[in-house]
A and B are shown apart, each in its own frame.
Chain A
Amino acid sequence: MKILVPLKRVADPDNANKVKIPAAGDKIETTGLEWKPNPFDEYALEAALRLTENGQTPKVRAGEVVVVTFGPKETEQTLRAALATGADRAIRIDTTDDKLDGDLVARALAALIEKEKPDVVVMGKQAVDGDSNQVGQILAELLDWPMATFAATIKEEAGALVVSREVDGGVATMRVKLPAIVTVDLRIVAPTSVYSTKTAATFKYNDGVRFAALPAIMAAKKKLLVEIKLADLAADQALKVEYKAFQAPPARKAGIKVKDVTELVTRLKNEAKVL
């Protein structure tokens, strides 16, 4: 099975307080930010790796995982990290973040998919910076492929994937024929979430995403990483989403300390009005 995994780097979500917005409010200041791969994209990569191996040590690859990102030269760091973690090959589509929206990303990915012909696109359900949650869905529409969003488990069958997602009060399970788009939620990295046809049903992964082996980090440089111009994938680069203004969330007011439970209950009743 051949899987395409789109990756995006985002400002370190654990250091969100470093995100600065200039007084003009026209943009987000990105200088000095620490970049991390979007967590949901890391989960997508982990799911894709699990789908292309047999779960045994030493790992035997049973397929190909191609990672792709949009961005300037520095974003190759994100790709190299993915190659070190186990992806087979990488593509960087040269552009900058401010020249993109979900629609253009989906159109460019659709054009790339025409060339690469993967069996599945596994991607994060959303990027934690813009939280738009739309690229997977637009992409499925453009390609006219079946899609399964917010996947919590994926099980490979011949020519199809059985995908479950958590919904209010239960689990919805669907079977999508390949080729298909799957967007993943955080449960996908639980020990028994993903099974390829070659992985024993009794096999348990470590919880979470895998850590790159240090020799693999040193070898990642030797894996293929190609650059494609955005123009070669999307002639029309007009954006459909325009950001009007940015505003930092209001600073949180200091909390109060209550003397005793009686005061707490009174305040919850009269001030917070939650009782």
Chain B
Amino acid sequence: MATTPEPLSLDSLISIDALLTDEERMIRDTVRRFVRERYLPRAAELFAKEQFATDLIPELAAMGLLGGSLTGYGCAGMNSVAYGLAVQELEYGDSGLRSFVSVQGSLAMWPIWKYGSEEQKQRFLPKMAAAEIIGCFGLTEPDSGSDPGSMTTRARTDGDHYVLNGTKMWITSAPVAHLAVVWAKVDDGGPESIRGFIVERGMPGFETPTIHGKMSLRASPTGEIVLTDVRVPKASMLPNVMGLKGPLGCLTQARFGISWGALGAARACYDAALAYARTRVQFDKPIASKQLIQEQLVEMAMEIAKGQIMALHYGRLKDTSGISPIQVSLCKKNNVAWALKIARTARGILGGNGILLDYPVVRHMLNLESVYTYEGTNEVHTLILGNALTGHNAF
């Protein structure tokens, strides 16, 4: 058989390296190596056994990945592009690993950093960056998902305390968390009364039962937060935000990271599909030589390239003049929806092997089903963009 030339790598096709600083490249390469050496050898087993790699948390912290884009309070202070590249490499490993880092940094630390009092920041952020305190974010409820304004969790004023009651559902890291940033309506108020509360494990009435049997994000622990007359001191309320814009601000941060992360999962699927197609021989030839397979691989590469270029563009913009939540919706919707399609296509290219955990593809495919739904479902982002583009609210 004639030797085929080395294929053009995605990195060379997309060529973002020249647009990155030395530090950004080194950060990416370091996280890439960490994921390949420390996570990938165990990824399938963790997924199969529904286990979270708790032993890696100190290493994630030592590398500065927790709250890595925040400044001060022991945080790494990476720019948005460096942070994006880092989470992209994490999700090349597994969306569950990336979810842990997103939740800790963007959903638990960021609201304290942005909306918290100086005392709250001093008390929690350095320990959260060091992974001595793990956080989670409680917004979704059993009857309140895409429409968080309909939440029923209540905080009732009682002297210098609030008394919290309600149930939060689908909460990433809840089972392992030391604290939860919980969003609740105050007294008899509507959505405008929503406030964030730092609820700590050990406070009576705070429970976090694990949700078992997920077929997606199995390597990330998900739970409920059940609040039964939890007395929280007033000093535990985040003082500097009110209304839905509090939790939505956090989501904008996390969604930005997810739009990079999804590219990592997509790349892992592309790499696996390409390698498989080049070696799997049917009808006397590698299936990579078939036009139908090439069309699929080309579409995968093309969409990854577009998504990567978009992420880099908005990342640079975020660091200079800033980006709007609508632009973040564009990135999240596009990159996650394509990552899921790419994973499904890759699954097909691997034939029967595509359903085995021996290859990363089906694991990513299943994980991406969650990524498609959380942080604003694909439809919700369509409605956000539709509203922005037409001026008509279609929610």
Question: Which residues of A approach B to under 8 Å, CB–CB?
Answer: 17-18, 57, 77, 80-81, 84, 206, 208, 211-218, 220-221, 251
Is B241 interfacial (CB-CB < 8 Å)? no
The total of chain B residues at the interface (CB under 8 A) is 22
Cβ contacts under 8 Å, B23 to chain A = 217-218, 220-221
A214:B34 contact, CB within 8 angstroms = no
B26:A211 contact, CB within 8 angstroms = no
A sample of 30 inter-chain contacts (CB < 8 A) reads A17-B6, A57-B62, A81-B26, A84-B30, A206-B59, A208-B37, A211-B33, A211-B59, A211-B62, A211-B63, A212-B26, A212-B30, A213-B62, A213-B63, A214-B30, A214-B31, A214-B65, A214-B82, A214-B86, A215-B76, A216-B64, A217-B23, A217-B26, A217-B30, A218-B77, A218-B78, A220-B23, A221-B22, A221-B23, A251-B3
Alpha-carbon separation in the docked complex, A84 to B64 (Å): 13
Cβ contacts under 8 Å, A214 to chain B = 27, 30-31, 63-65, 68, 76, 78, 82, 86
Alpha-carbon separation in the docked complex, A48 to B216 (Å): 43
Cβ contacts under 8 Å, B33 to chain A = 211
Cβ contacts under 8 Å, A77 to chain B = 22
How far apart are A261's CB and chain B's nearest CB, in angstroms?
A: 25
Cβ contacts under 8 Å, A84 to chain B = 26, 30
How far apart are B199's CB and chain A's nearest CB, in angstroms?
A: 29
Cβ contacts under 8 Å, B27 to chain A = 214, 217-218
Could you say which of A84, A213, A216, A217 has the most chain B C-beta atoms within 10 Å of its C-beta? A217
Cβ contacts under 8 Å, B26 to chain A = 80-81, 84, 212, 217, 220
Alpha-carbon separation in the docked complex, A170 to B196 (Å): 63
Cβ contacts under 8 Å, A216 to chain B = 64
Alpha-carbon separation in the docked complex, A215 to B79 (Å): 11
Q: Which residue of A lies closest to B34 (CB)?
A: A211
Cβ contacts under 8 Å, B63 to chain A = 211-214
Alpha-carbon separation in the docked complex, A146 to B43 (Å): 46
Q: Which residue of A lies closest to B25 (CB)?
A: A77
0/1 interface trace, chain B 1-34, chain A, CB 8 Å (1 if under): 0010010000000000000001100110011011
Cβ contacts under 8 Å, A220 to chain B = 23, 26
0/1 interface trace, chain B 91-114, chain A, CB 8 Å (1 if under): 000000000000000000000000
Cβ contacts under 8 Å, A217 to chain B = 23, 26-27, 30
Instruction: Rank and list the top 8 A-B pairs by shortest CB-CB distance, nearest first.
Output: A214-B64, A215-B76, A217-B26, A214-B76, A213-B64, A215-B64, A211-B34, A212-B30
How far apart are B3's CB and chain A's nearest CB, in angstroms?
A: 7
Alpha-carbon separation in the docked complex, A215 to B59 (Å): 14
0/1 interface trace, chain B 26-66, chain A, CB 8 Å (1 if under): 11001101100100000000000000000000010011110
Q: Which residue of A lies closest to B3 (CB)?
A: A251
Q: Which residue of A lies closest to B83 (CB)?
A: A214
How far apart are B243's CB and chain A's nearest CB, in angstroms?
A: 34
Cβ contacts under 8 Å, A57 to chain B = 62
How far apart are B288's CB and chain A's nearest CB, in angstroms?
A: 17
Cβ contacts under 8 Å, B6 to chain A = 17-18
Cβ contacts under 8 Å, B31 to chain A = 214
Given contacts A212-B63, A214-B78, A218-B27, 13 further A-B contacts (CB under 8 A): A18-B6, A211-B33, A211-B34, A212-B26, A212-B30, A214-B27, A214-B63, A214-B65, A214-B86, A215-B64, A215-B77, A217-B27, A218-B23
